[in-house]
Structure 1
Amino acid sequence: MDIEEVREIGLSLPHTTERCPFGPDALALEIGGRMFCLLDLSGKWTFYNIKVHPDYSIELQERHTSIRPGFHMNKKHWISVDFNGNIPKAMHRKLIEHAYRQTIKALPRKQREIISTTSGHKDNGN
């Protein structure tokens, strides 16, 4: 897994946008103006940060040595995932999709309804 693969997975999700809110070396993937994935473009990081449910965060950190509390992020809601750790590629996709769904849940209802209507995404609470 590498930065471009993570970016491609994130951008494949409906209504995902990207921007650099923290300067030219930090790429944020967002839905509805809220960040769900943060990537370092300078090449200094060997990981990416994603938003996760707090209980899932604990579970993931206990099961995988290449997942830890989010670097420079809220440790309760964010994790850092190594690009080349013990995580299979399919699991990276699952984690990014989880981050995307978690972020959608936090959007105002009206915005969730617009996303649901235009993308086929159903907000079923997962």
Structure 2
Amino acid sequence: MELDALRAYHMQKKRVTEELPFGPETLVFKVAGKMFALIAWQYSPLRISLKCDPDDALALRDMYPAVQPGYYLNKTHWNTITLDGTIPDAELLTMIDNSYRFVVKSLKKAEREALLAGT
């Protein structure tokens, strides 16, 4: 999957912002101010780090060699995926969706309800 398609997919989600808090080489996507995805866009192939449930993180690492513990991130909750073509695009999009939902679920009740209501 190409960078432009990844960016567009992230940005179509509610209340997502794209930021560069770690410098120009890492795109950070946040929902309601909390990170759910990071793209190391200067690597070839691209690398994306996604937050996930700890059990899911381990399962994905077992299933796909391209999925590794989060690079410079909490290895319990983050996976870094090398986009080398071994993971189907549909599976990658599911991982992104799950990361977004995982972070939304952790928001304060009022923030979560406002986000889900579309306000």
Figure out how many residues of one structure are paired with residues of the other and give that number: 119
| CA distances 1:52-80 after superposition (whole Å, capped 9, x unpaired) | 11000011111111111011110000001
Please give the secondary structure, in 2, of the residue aligned with 1:56: helix
Residue 42 of structure 1 pairs with residue 42 of structure 2: yes
Contact kept in structure 1, 2:61 and 2:68, CA below 8 Å: yes
Distance 1:57 1:2 in 2: 23
Contact kept in structure 2, 1:11 and 1:17, CA below 8 Å: yes
Could you say which residue in structure 2 is the equivalent of 1:87? 87
Distance 1:78 1:50 in 2: 6
What is the aligned-residue RMSD (CA, Å)?
1.5
TM-score using structure 2 length: 0.92
Residue ranges of structure 2 left out of the alignment (5+ in a row): none
CA-CA distance at 1:15 after TM superposition: 1.5
Where do 4+ consecutive residues of structure 1 move more than 4 Å? none
Could you say which residue in structure 2 is the equivalent of 1:122? none
TM-score using structure 1 length: 0.87
| CA distances 1:60-118 after superposition (whole Å, capped 9, x unpaired) | 11111111101111000000111124110101110000000001011111100100111
Identity %, equivalent residues: 29
Residue ranges of structure 1 left out of the alignment (5+ in a row): 120-126
Distance 1:93 1:57 in 2: 15
Could you say which residue in structure 1 is the equivalent of 2:29? 29
Please give the secondary structure, in 2, of the residue aligned with 1:58: helix
Could you say which residue in structure 2 is the equivalent of 1:110? 110
CA-CA distance at 1:41 after TM superposition: 3.4
Distance 1:68 1:113 in 2: 33
